Structure 1
Protein backbone atom coordinates (compact mmCIF):
# COMPACT_ATOMS: atom_id res chain seq x y z
CA UNK A 1 0.00 0.00 0.00
CA UNK A 2 1.26 3.47 -0.89
CA UNK A 3 2.18 5.71 2.02
CA UNK A 4 2.88 9.41 1.81
CA UNK A 5 4.88 10.45 4.83
CA UNK A 6 3.36 7.49 6.69
CA UNK A 7 -0.25 8.30 5.76
CA UNK A 8 -2.21 5.97 3.48
CA UNK A 9 -5.56 7.80 3.47
CA UNK A 10 -5.43 11.40 2.44
CA UNK A 11 -6.17 13.97 -0.20
CA UNK A 12 -3.68 16.03 -2.18
CA UNK A 13 -5.19 19.38 -3.16
CA UNK A 14 -3.76 21.56 -5.90
CA UNK A 15 -4.38 25.29 -5.57
CA UNK A 16 -3.36 28.29 -7.64
CA UNK A 17 -4.57 30.75 -10.22
CA UNK A 18 -6.11 29.37 -13.40
CA UNK A 19 -3.64 28.29 -16.10
CA UNK A 20 -0.98 27.32 -13.59
CA UNK A 21 -1.39 23.64 -14.49
CA UNK A 22 -3.65 22.28 -11.74
CA UNK A 23 -5.77 20.04 -13.98
CA UNK A 24 -2.94 18.77 -16.17
CA UNK A 25 -0.62 18.14 -13.23
CA UNK A 26 -3.44 16.74 -11.10
CA UNK A 27 -4.37 14.10 -13.67
CA UNK A 28 -0.75 13.00 -14.03
CA UNK A 29 -0.13 13.01 -10.27
CA UNK A 30 -3.25 10.94 -9.62
CA UNK A 31 -2.19 8.48 -12.30
CA UNK A 32 1.27 8.11 -10.78
CA UNK A 33 -0.15 7.63 -7.30
CA UNK A 34 -2.84 5.23 -8.50
CA UNK A 35 -5.48 7.53 -7.03
CA UNK A 36 -8.63 9.16 -8.39
CA UNK A 37 -8.51 12.65 -9.89
CA UNK A 38 -11.23 15.28 -9.39
CA UNK A 39 -11.42 18.72 -10.99
CA UNK A 40 -13.89 20.65 -8.82
CA UNK A 41 -14.62 23.21 -11.55
CA UNK A 42 -15.65 20.35 -13.87
CA UNK A 43 -17.78 18.86 -11.10
CA UNK A 44 -19.54 22.19 -10.50
CA UNK A 45 -20.25 22.62 -14.22
CA UNK A 46 -21.69 19.08 -14.33
CA UNK A 47 -23.87 19.61 -11.26
CA UNK A 48 -25.10 23.06 -12.33
CA UNK A 49 -25.56 22.12 -15.98
CA UNK A 50 -23.93 25.34 -17.15
CA UNK A 51 -20.50 26.94 -17.45
CA UNK A 52 -18.87 28.86 -14.64
CA UNK A 53 -19.34 32.08 -16.64
CA UNK A 54 -23.08 31.30 -16.88
CA UNK A 55 -23.27 30.59 -13.15
CA UNK A 56 -21.59 33.94 -12.43
CA UNK A 57 -23.93 35.73 -14.88
CA UNK A 58 -27.18 34.01 -13.85
CA UNK A 59 -26.66 33.41 -10.15
CA UNK A 60 -23.78 35.65 -9.09
CA UNK A 61 -20.34 35.04 -7.69
CA UNK A 62 -21.64 34.42 -4.18
CA UNK A 63 -23.78 31.47 -5.35
CA UNK A 64 -20.85 30.09 -7.35
CA UNK A 65 -18.56 30.32 -4.30
CA UNK A 66 -21.13 28.42 -2.24
CA UNK A 67 -21.32 25.68 -4.91
CA UNK A 68 -17.52 25.59 -4.92
CA UNK A 69 -17.32 25.36 -1.12
CA UNK A 70 -19.86 22.51 -0.97
CA UNK A 71 -18.18 20.59 -3.81
CA UNK A 72 -14.76 20.90 -2.20
CA UNK A 73 -16.12 19.90 1.19
CA UNK A 74 -17.57 16.75 -0.36
CA UNK A 75 -14.35 15.87 -2.23
CA UNK A 76 -12.10 16.64 0.76
CA UNK A 77 -13.98 14.07 2.85
CA UNK A 78 -12.75 11.28 0.56
CA UNK A 79 -9.49 9.33 0.60
CA UNK A 80 -6.74 8.75 -1.94
CA UNK A 81 -7.82 11.48 -4.33
CA UNK A 82 -5.99 14.34 -6.04
CA UNK A 83 -8.15 17.48 -6.29
CA UNK A 84 -7.68 20.33 -8.72
CA UNK A 85 -9.47 23.18 -6.97
CA UNK A 86 -10.77 26.32 -8.61
CA UNK A 87 -8.51 29.35 -8.44
CA UNK A 88 -10.78 31.09 -5.92
CA UNK A 89 -11.39 28.09 -3.67
CA UNK A 90 -8.97 29.55 -1.14
CA UNK A 91 -11.25 32.56 -0.57
CA UNK A 92 -13.19 30.65 2.08
CA UNK A 93 -11.38 30.29 5.44
CA UNK A 94 -13.39 27.11 6.10
CA UNK A 95 -12.26 25.60 2.80
CA UNK A 96 -8.61 26.50 3.43
CA UNK A 97 -8.82 24.78 6.82
CA UNK A 98 -10.49 21.67 5.36
CA UNK A 99 -7.84 21.44 2.63
CA UNK A 100 -5.06 21.54 5.20
CA UNK A 101 -6.75 18.96 7.45
CA UNK A 102 -7.26 16.57 4.51
CA UNK A 103 -3.63 16.39 3.41
CA UNK A 104 -0.93 18.31 1.59
CA UNK A 105 -1.94 21.46 -0.27
CA UNK A 106 0.25 22.14 -3.31
CA UNK A 107 0.34 25.72 -4.60
CA UNK A 108 1.17 25.86 -8.30
CA UNK A 109 2.43 29.28 -9.37
CA UNK A 110 3.39 31.01 -12.58
CA UNK A 111 4.41 34.52 -13.58
CA UNK A 112 1.71 36.87 -14.84
CA UNK A 113 3.19 36.72 -18.35
CA UNK A 114 3.05 32.92 -18.36
CA UNK A 115 -0.54 32.85 -17.13
CA UNK A 116 -1.65 35.39 -19.73
CA UNK A 117 0.11 33.47 -22.51
CA UNK A 118 -1.50 30.19 -21.42
CA UNK A 119 -4.95 31.79 -21.17
CA UNK A 120 -4.58 33.36 -24.62
CA UNK A 121 -3.64 29.94 -26.03
CA UNK A 122 -6.69 28.29 -24.43
CA UNK A 123 -9.72 30.09 -25.86
CA UNK A 124 -12.11 27.41 -24.56
CA UNK A 125 -11.09 28.15 -20.97
CA UNK A 126 -11.20 31.91 -21.44
CA UNK A 127 -14.70 31.75 -22.91
CA UNK A 128 -16.08 29.60 -20.10
CA UNK A 129 -14.60 31.68 -17.27
CA UNK A 130 -15.97 35.02 -16.11
CA UNK A 131 -13.96 38.19 -15.77
CA UNK A 132 -13.42 38.77 -12.07
CA UNK A 133 -12.56 42.45 -12.30
CA UNK A 134 -13.86 43.74 -15.65
CA UNK A 135 -10.31 44.81 -16.53
CA UNK A 136 -8.04 43.69 -19.33
CA UNK A 137 -6.50 40.25 -18.95
CA UNK A 138 -3.05 41.36 -17.74
CA UNK A 139 -4.50 43.82 -15.24
CA UNK A 140 -7.01 41.24 -14.01
CA UNK A 141 -4.38 38.56 -13.47
CA UNK A 142 -2.11 41.02 -11.62
CA UNK A 143 -4.94 42.31 -9.45
CA UNK A 144 -6.40 38.92 -8.55
CA UNK A 145 -2.99 37.40 -7.84
CA UNK A 146 -2.11 40.29 -5.56
CA UNK A 147 -5.36 39.84 -3.62
CA UNK A 148 -5.12 36.06 -3.38
CA UNK A 149 -1.38 35.72 -2.75
CA UNK A 150 -1.63 35.76 1.08
CA UNK A 151 -4.51 33.24 0.99
CA UNK A 152 -2.64 30.82 -1.28
CA UNK A 153 0.40 31.22 0.94
CA UNK A 154 -1.62 30.54 4.10
CA UNK A 155 -3.25 27.41 2.65
CA UNK A 156 -0.18 25.87 0.99
CA UNK A 157 1.95 23.10 2.40
CA UNK A 158 4.48 23.95 -0.32
CA UNK A 159 4.75 25.92 -3.54
CA UNK A 160 5.98 24.92 -7.00
CA UNK A 161 6.72 27.29 -9.88
CA UNK A 162 5.35 25.92 -13.14
CA UNK A 163 6.67 28.47 -15.66
CA UNK A 164 9.59 26.53 -17.11
CA UNK A 165 8.71 22.96 -16.16
CA UNK A 166 6.83 20.18 -17.91
CA UNK A 167 3.91 18.51 -16.15
CA UNK A 168 6.12 15.47 -15.59
CA UNK A 169 8.81 17.58 -13.91
CA UNK A 170 6.22 19.26 -11.71
CA UNK A 171 4.79 15.89 -10.66
CA UNK A 172 8.32 14.62 -9.90
CA UNK A 173 8.83 17.65 -7.65
CA UNK A 174 5.47 17.16 -5.91
CA UNK A 175 6.21 13.50 -5.30
CA UNK A 176 9.59 14.41 -3.86
CA UNK A 177 7.91 16.87 -1.45
CA UNK A 178 5.39 14.18 -0.53
CA UNK A 179 8.15 11.70 0.23
CA UNK A 180 7.07 9.33 -2.55
CA UNK A 181 9.63 7.75 -4.82
CA UNK A 182 9.01 8.49 -8.49
CA UNK A 183 7.34 5.58 -10.12
CA UNK A 184 3.99 5.79 -8.50
CA UNK A 185 1.65 3.54 -6.67
CA UNK A 186 2.67 0.50 -4.70
Structure 2
Protein backbone atom coordinates (compact mmCIF):
# COMPACT_ATOMS: atom_id res chain seq x y z
CA UNK A 1 0.00 0.00 0.00
CA UNK A 2 1.35 3.41 -0.95
CA UNK A 3 1.85 5.71 1.99
CA UNK A 4 1.62 9.45 1.62
CA UNK A 5 3.55 11.81 3.83
CA UNK A 6 2.74 15.37 4.57
CA UNK A 7 5.47 17.84 3.76
CA UNK A 8 7.09 19.68 6.62
CA UNK A 9 7.00 23.49 6.63
CA UNK A 10 10.10 24.85 4.87
CA UNK A 11 10.21 27.89 7.16
CA UNK A 12 11.41 25.61 9.98
CA UNK A 13 14.65 24.94 8.08
CA UNK A 14 16.91 27.99 8.14
CA UNK A 15 20.02 26.76 6.33
CA UNK A 16 20.95 24.21 3.68
CA UNK A 17 20.98 20.54 4.65
CA UNK A 18 24.05 18.90 3.12
CA UNK A 19 24.19 15.12 2.80
CA UNK A 20 27.67 13.59 3.05
CA UNK A 21 28.90 10.01 2.93
CA UNK A 22 30.41 7.35 0.73
CA UNK A 23 29.29 6.65 -2.81
CA UNK A 24 26.21 4.46 -2.98
CA UNK A 25 24.82 5.52 0.40
CA UNK A 26 21.88 7.22 -1.33
CA UNK A 27 22.68 10.92 -0.96
CA UNK A 28 20.97 11.82 -4.25
CA UNK A 29 17.96 9.52 -4.00
CA UNK A 30 17.37 10.16 -0.32
CA UNK A 31 18.10 13.86 -0.81
CA UNK A 32 15.38 14.24 -3.44
CA UNK A 33 12.84 12.56 -1.16
CA UNK A 34 13.97 14.54 1.89
CA UNK A 35 13.66 17.80 -0.04
CA UNK A 36 10.16 16.86 -1.18
CA UNK A 37 9.10 16.03 2.38
CA UNK A 38 10.50 19.36 3.62
CA UNK A 39 9.10 21.29 0.63
CA UNK A 40 12.62 22.51 -0.20
CA UNK A 41 14.61 22.61 -3.44
CA UNK A 42 17.03 19.73 -4.08
CA UNK A 43 20.44 20.13 -5.70
CA UNK A 44 22.87 17.37 -6.63
CA UNK A 45 26.40 18.83 -6.52
CA UNK A 46 27.72 16.27 -9.04
CA UNK A 47 25.02 17.28 -11.55
CA UNK A 48 25.90 20.94 -11.02
CA UNK A 49 29.58 20.14 -11.64
CA UNK A 50 28.71 18.23 -14.82
CA UNK A 51 26.54 21.11 -16.00
CA UNK A 52 29.26 23.68 -15.34
CA UNK A 53 31.97 21.57 -17.00
CA UNK A 54 29.88 20.29 -19.90
CA UNK A 55 31.04 16.73 -19.21
CA UNK A 56 30.42 13.86 -16.81
CA UNK A 57 32.23 13.43 -13.51
CA UNK A 58 33.87 10.30 -14.96
CA UNK A 59 35.11 12.30 -17.97
CA UNK A 60 36.47 15.06 -15.74
CA UNK A 61 38.37 12.47 -13.68
CA UNK A 62 39.71 10.79 -16.82
CA UNK A 63 40.76 13.96 -18.66
CA UNK A 64 41.95 16.19 -15.82
CA UNK A 65 42.40 14.01 -12.73
CA UNK A 66 40.88 13.88 -9.28
CA UNK A 67 42.53 17.04 -7.89
CA UNK A 68 41.11 19.15 -10.75
CA UNK A 69 37.67 17.65 -10.10
CA UNK A 70 37.90 18.31 -6.34
CA UNK A 71 38.78 21.95 -6.97
CA UNK A 72 35.73 22.39 -9.19
CA UNK A 73 33.62 20.52 -6.67
CA UNK A 74 34.76 22.87 -3.89
CA UNK A 75 33.80 25.94 -5.96
CA UNK A 76 30.39 24.53 -6.91
CA UNK A 77 29.51 23.59 -3.32
CA UNK A 78 30.58 27.07 -2.15
CA UNK A 79 28.16 28.54 -4.72
CA UNK A 80 25.34 26.20 -3.65
CA UNK A 81 25.67 27.07 0.04
CA UNK A 82 24.17 30.50 -0.36
CA UNK A 83 22.25 30.72 2.90
CA UNK A 84 18.95 29.64 1.38
CA UNK A 85 17.32 26.47 2.74
CA UNK A 86 17.65 23.51 0.38
CA UNK A 87 18.88 19.93 0.40
CA UNK A 88 22.27 19.36 -1.24
CA UNK A 89 23.70 15.95 -2.12
CA UNK A 90 27.50 16.02 -2.33
CA UNK A 91 29.93 13.65 -3.95
CA UNK A 92 31.59 11.12 -1.65
CA UNK A 93 34.90 13.00 -1.50
CA UNK A 94 33.57 16.54 -1.04
CA UNK A 95 33.55 16.53 2.77
CA UNK A 96 37.17 15.33 2.86
CA UNK A 97 38.38 18.68 1.48
CA UNK A 98 39.25 20.87 4.49
CA UNK A 99 37.88 24.07 2.93
CA UNK A 100 34.64 22.45 1.74
CA UNK A 101 34.08 20.71 5.08
CA UNK A 102 34.65 23.95 7.02
CA UNK A 103 32.16 25.79 4.80
CA UNK A 104 29.54 23.05 5.20
CA UNK A 105 29.98 22.83 8.98
CA UNK A 106 29.83 26.60 9.38
CA UNK A 107 26.99 27.50 7.01
CA UNK A 108 24.84 24.37 6.66
CA UNK A 109 23.55 21.34 8.52
CA UNK A 110 25.75 18.38 7.62
CA UNK A 111 24.10 14.96 7.72
CA UNK A 112 26.33 11.88 7.44
CA UNK A 113 24.58 9.00 5.74
CA UNK A 114 26.51 5.91 6.77
CA UNK A 115 26.26 2.31 5.60
CA UNK A 116 28.33 -0.82 5.78
CA UNK A 117 30.73 -1.24 2.83
CA UNK A 118 29.06 -4.52 1.83
CA UNK A 119 25.68 -2.74 1.51
CA UNK A 120 27.30 0.03 -0.53
CA UNK A 121 29.15 -2.46 -2.76
CA UNK A 122 25.85 -4.13 -3.66
CA UNK A 123 24.31 -0.78 -4.52
CA UNK A 124 27.18 0.53 -6.67
CA UNK A 125 27.53 -2.70 -8.68
CA UNK A 126 24.34 -1.68 -10.48
CA UNK A 127 26.00 1.21 -12.38
CA UNK A 128 29.43 1.67 -13.98
CA UNK A 129 29.65 5.44 -13.52
CA UNK A 130 31.96 5.66 -10.50
CA UNK A 131 35.51 6.71 -11.48
CA UNK A 132 37.09 5.41 -8.28
CA UNK A 133 35.67 1.93 -8.91
CA UNK A 134 36.68 1.44 -12.54
CA UNK A 135 38.29 -1.97 -12.90
CA UNK A 136 38.41 -2.59 -9.14
CA UNK A 137 36.50 -4.66 -6.58
CA UNK A 138 33.80 -2.37 -5.13
CA UNK A 139 33.85 -3.99 -1.68
CA UNK A 140 37.62 -3.57 -1.36
CA UNK A 141 37.54 0.05 -2.59
CA UNK A 142 34.62 1.00 -0.34
CA UNK A 143 36.22 -0.67 2.68
CA UNK A 144 39.43 1.30 2.04
CA UNK A 145 37.51 4.54 1.46
CA UNK A 146 35.48 4.03 4.65
CA UNK A 147 38.67 3.61 6.67
CA UNK A 148 40.03 6.93 5.35
CA UNK A 149 36.84 8.98 5.03
CA UNK A 150 34.63 7.93 7.94
CA UNK A 151 36.65 9.95 10.50
CA UNK A 152 35.92 13.06 8.39
CA UNK A 153 32.24 12.18 7.91
CA UNK A 154 31.98 11.65 11.68
CA UNK A 155 32.57 15.41 12.08
CA UNK A 156 29.05 15.99 10.72
CA UNK A 157 26.74 16.82 13.64
CA UNK A 158 23.97 14.51 12.40
CA UNK A 159 24.61 10.81 11.78
CA UNK A 160 22.06 8.52 10.13
CA UNK A 161 22.61 4.89 9.17
CA UNK A 162 21.33 3.83 5.77
CA UNK A 163 20.25 0.20 5.93
CA UNK A 164 19.36 -2.14 3.13
CA UNK A 165 15.76 -0.90 3.32
CA UNK A 166 13.44 1.40 1.35
CA UNK A 167 14.71 4.98 1.01
CA UNK A 168 11.79 6.31 3.04
CA UNK A 169 13.26 4.60 6.11
CA UNK A 170 16.39 6.74 5.76
CA UNK A 171 14.35 9.88 5.03
CA UNK A 172 12.30 9.29 8.18
CA UNK A 173 15.48 8.74 10.21
CA UNK A 174 16.90 12.06 8.95
CA UNK A 175 13.69 13.92 9.76
CA UNK A 176 13.74 12.45 13.26
CA UNK A 177 17.44 13.29 13.72
CA UNK A 178 16.92 16.93 12.73
CA UNK A 179 13.77 17.24 14.83
CA UNK A 180 11.20 17.42 12.04
- Is TM-score (shorter-chain normalized) higher than 0.5? yes
Q: Measured at CA, do residues 59 and 159 of structure 1 come closer, stay the same or move farther in structure 2, by a change above 3 Å?
A: same
Alignment of 1:91-102 (within 5 A): 91-102=96-107
Contact 2:74 2:94 in 1 (8 A): yes
Structure 1 residue 101 displacement after superposition? 1.6
The RMSD of aligned alpha carbons is 1.7
Contact 2:158 2:178 in 1 (8 A): no
* 2:172 is the alignment partner of 1:176: no
Where does structure 2 lack aligned partners over 5 or more consecutive residues? 1-8
SS of match in other structure, 1:145:
helix
Identify which of 30, 37, 49 aligns with 1:32: 37
Q: Whole-Å Cα distance in 2 between the matches of residues 111 and 145 of structure 1? A: 9
TM-score by length of 1: 0.86
2:3 maps to what in 1?
none
Q: Whole-Å Cα distance in 1 between the matches of residues 164 and 130 of structure 2? A: 25
Alignment of 1:21-170 (within 5 A): 21-121=26-126, 123=127, 126=128, 128-131=129-132, 135-154=136-155, 156-170=156-170
Structure 1 residue 132 displacement after superposition? 6.1
SS of match in other structure, 2:131:
coil
Q: Measured at CA, do residues 93 and 43 of structure 1 come closer, stay the same or move farther in structure 2, by a change above 3 Å?
A: same
Q: Whole-Å Cα distance in 1 between the matches of residues 107 and 145 of structure 2? A: 26
Q: Whole-Å Cα distance in 2 between the matches of residues 133 and 19 of structure 1? A: 14
Structure 1 residue 30 displacement after superposition? 0.6
SS of match in other structure, 2:125:
helix
Aligned pair count reads: 172
Structure 1 residue 78 displacement after superposition? 3.6
Structure 1 residue 167 displacement after superposition? 1.5
1:183 maps to what in 2?
none
